Amino acid sequence: MKKFLKVLAIAFACFAIVMTTGMYIFLNSLGKADPLQSGSEDPLPQKKERVNVLVVGVDAKDDKSAKTARTDTMMLATFDPNTKKVDVISIPRDTRVVIRNRKGKDKINAAHVYGGMDLSMKAVKDLLGIPVHYYIKVNYSGVAKIVDDVGGVEVNVPKDMKYYDPKADPPLKINLKKGVQVLDSNKAMQFLRFRKGYANQDLGRINAQHDFLTALSDKLLSPKTIVKLPKLVKTFSTYVDTNIPISTMTSYALQAKDIKIQDIHMITIPGEPKLVNALWYYIPDTEKLKSIIKEIFDGTYMNSNPSTNKENMKEKATVEVLNGSNIKGLATEVANQLKEKGYNVVNISNVQGIKYGQTHIYDRGNKEEDAKKIADWLGIKEIEKDINTEINTDITIIVGSDMKK
Per the CB < 8 A criterion, the answer to whether 152 and 220 are in contact is no
Closest CA to 260 of 51, 1, 13, 36: 13
pLDDT tens-digit map of 367-396 = 888 888 888 888 888 888 765 545 678 899
pLDDT score, position 10: 40
What is the 3-state composition of the chain as percent helix, strand, coil, each rounded to the nearest 5? 40, 25, 35
Q: Out of 2.30.31.10, 1.10.760.10, 3.40.630.190, 3.40.50.300, select the CATH number for domain 2-314.
A: 3.40.630.190
d(CA 26, CA 43): 28
pLDDT tens-digit map of 254-273 = 676 666 666 777 788 999 88
Q: Which CATH architecture has domain 317-403?
A: 2-Layer Sandwich (3.30)
Per the CB < 8 A criterion, the answer to whether 78 and 15 are in contact is no
pLDDT score, position 332: 86
Model confidence at 5: pLDDT above 90: no
**Identity (one letter) of the amino acid at 13?**
A
**DSSP β-ladder status, 106-107 and 395-399:** unpaired
pLDDT score, position 63: 65
> What percentage of residues in the chain have a pLDDT greater than 70?
73
Q: How far is CA 245 from CA 38, 136, 239, in A?
A: 7, 12, 17
Least confident of 20-34, 175-189, 246-260: 20-34
**DSSP β-ladder status, 161-165 and 172-176:** antiparallel
pLDDT tens-digit map of 288-326 = 999 999 999 887 775 444 433 443 434 567 888 999 888
Report domain extents, the chain: 2-314, 317-403
Model confidence at 41: pLDDT above 80: yes
Closest CA to 384 of 358, 402, 403: 358
Mean pLDDT of 269-288: 89
pLDDT tens-digit map of 120-144 = 999 999 999 999 999 988 877 777 8
d(CA 134, CA 137): 10
pLDDT tens-digit map of 203-250 = 677 777 777 877 776 676 566 666 776 677 677 777 778 888 767 776
pLDDT score, position 132: 95
Which has the higher per-residue pLDDT, 76 or 393? 76
Which has the higher per-residue pLDDT, 19 or 107? 107
DSSP state of 95: B
pTM of the complete model: 0.62
Count other C-beta atoms under 10 Å from residue 31's C-beta: 7
| Orientation angle between helical segments 16-29 and 2-12, nearest 10 degrees | 140
d(CA 34, CA 24): 9
* Contacts for 261 with CB less than 8 Å, ≥ 6 apart: 10, 13, 214, 217
Secondary structure of residue 176 in the 3-state scheme: strand
User: How big is the CA angle at 70 (ends 67 and 72), to the nearest 5 degrees?
Assistant: 115
d(CA 163, CA 198): 12
pLDDT tens-digit map of 337-347 = 888 777 888 88
